[in-house]
Structures are given as C-alpha cells and as structure tokens.
Amino acid sequence: MTISPTALIDQNTSGLRIGLFGGTFDPPHVGHLVTAVNVMHALDLDQVILMVANVPWQKEGSRTITPAQDRFAMVEAAVASTPGLVAGDAEIRMGGPSYTVDTLRSLRQQNAEYASATFFTIVGDDAAAGVPTWERFEELTELTRLVVVDRPGAPVELSSDIDWIRVEVPRLDVSSTDLRSRFTDGRPLDYLITQPVLEVIRERSLYSSPIGAQT
C-alpha cells in the first residue's frame, strides 16, 4: 500500500525511527547528503545511517571499486558535521556481499536501541527499480518500509502490494560516476563533493587525485 509521509509521521510507534540509506558511496556526494537530511526531516527520523556496501553485488565485475575502508572514511568525513547522519560499517564488518535484509537483521541484533526501532530503507529512483530483485525481498519488506526519492531520470512506480512511499527531495543531477570521471579529466568538483571528503581523498590518494585546484 502507498502511504503518505504524513501518515508515517503520525504513527504512534515507540522506539527510534531509523533511515537506512545504503550505497557504494564511491565517492559520497551532495546528492547523497541532501537526500539523507531531507528524508530525515520529512519522516521525522532520529537518524539516517549511510551504510557503506562491502561488496556491492550489483556493481561487482563492472569496474574497480575503491576499497570499502576508504569509502567508509569518506562517508564518515561527509556526515561528521551533520547531526543525525551516521556512517554505517555493519556491512563491512559482516563481510561478503551486502544484502540489505542481512544488514537490517544484524543492526537489530547488535544494538538494543535498533531492536525496537522502525526502519525506513531509502533508495533513489534508479535503485528502486531493482528493489523487487533484492535478496529475500519478501523478508525485507517485513523488516523495513521502503522510501523512494526522486533522482533525475524516469520516476519508478513500485507495485501497490509493497509498503513504500515517495519523499520529495531536491533533484540533484549528481552521481559518483560523474565525479569519478571529473577526477580523471580534471573538471571541477567544487560544490558537488564536500571539503572534508576531498581531504580524505587527497590524504589517501584515491581516484589518482590531482585535486589541488579545488582545495
């Protein structure tokens, strides 16, 4: 059933309201951050966890992925100054391929506050299209509500059998793919990626980064 954000806010549930926003974050950019804070506000969430995928199974084999610990360091830097945003390393600690259903189970088991929390799994339009193919999808829908946000491109309508909502966020046509090519060809990164993230990239020499011009 499709329900409105207002209905979700009004729900009288005890326990924390946690957003789970998974991604490769290679690198994290303003599109991720603007999405996270706007969904947090719209759904009155206590926290949004930007969960760094260990092995993003959808992307395996298609390109070289930056090591998980480096992606986690970038996400930590990205969220450090924003109350409510948290960098998640549960998938890295679990190892192996990152399936959201396992992540939710692990979070609930390992943290008493999460055990009684209501989870909202946040996905962009593009990722939403593939959600029904996610590992153990039926089980997943019992553990979390799905939140779909706009991303430039064709909007996706999920089946009405699924408990999902759409939250409006500013549409920013920013992607990690474009950012990686900007590192390669020297186009500006300013305002697309935050300064603390650029510092991690420089310190760790990620993306073969000649980023002096932007810093």
Binding site for ligand ATP (CB under 6 A): 23-26, 31-32, 35, 123-124, 126-127, 149, 151, 172, 174-177
Query: Taking CB positions, which residue lies at the least distance from ligand ATP?
Result: 124
Angle between helices 195-203 and 68-79 (to 10 degrees): 150
Distance of CA 72 to the CA centre of its chain: 12
Q: What is the DSSP letter of 64?
A: P
The CB-of-35 to ligand ATP minimum distance in angstroms stands at 4
Question: How many Å apart are CA 183 and CA 135, to the nearest integer?
Answer: 33
106 close to 133: Cβ distance less than 8 angstroms:
no
Question: Strands, E, within the chain: which ranges?
Answer: 17-23, 47-52, 85-88, 118-124, 145-149, 164-167
Question: How many Å apart are CA 201 and CA 183, to the nearest integer?
Answer: 11
Nearer to ligand ATP, 26 or 102 (CB): 26
The CB-of-116 to ligand ATP minimum distance in angstroms stands at 26
Question: Strands, E, within 26-133: which ranges?
Answer: 47-52, 85-88, 118-124
Nearer to ligand ATP, 78 or 113 (CB): 78
Nearer to ligand ATP, 19 or 31 (CB): 31
Nearer to ligand ATP, 107 or 149 (CB): 149
Question: How many Å apart are CA 43 and CA 38, to the nearest integer?
Answer: 9
The CB-of-121 to ligand ATP minimum distance in angstroms stands at 9
Q: Tell me phi and psi for residue 49, to 5 degrees.
A: -95, 120
Nearer to ligand ATP, 61 or 212 (CB): 61
Edge to edge, the sheet with strand 17-23 lists 85-88, 47-52, 17-23, 118-124, 145-149, 164-167
The CB-of-194 to ligand ATP minimum distance in angstroms stands at 14
Nearer to ligand ATP, 14 or 208 (CB): 208
The CB-of-170 to ligand ATP minimum distance in angstroms stands at 8
The CB-of-54 to ligand ATP minimum distance in angstroms stands at 13
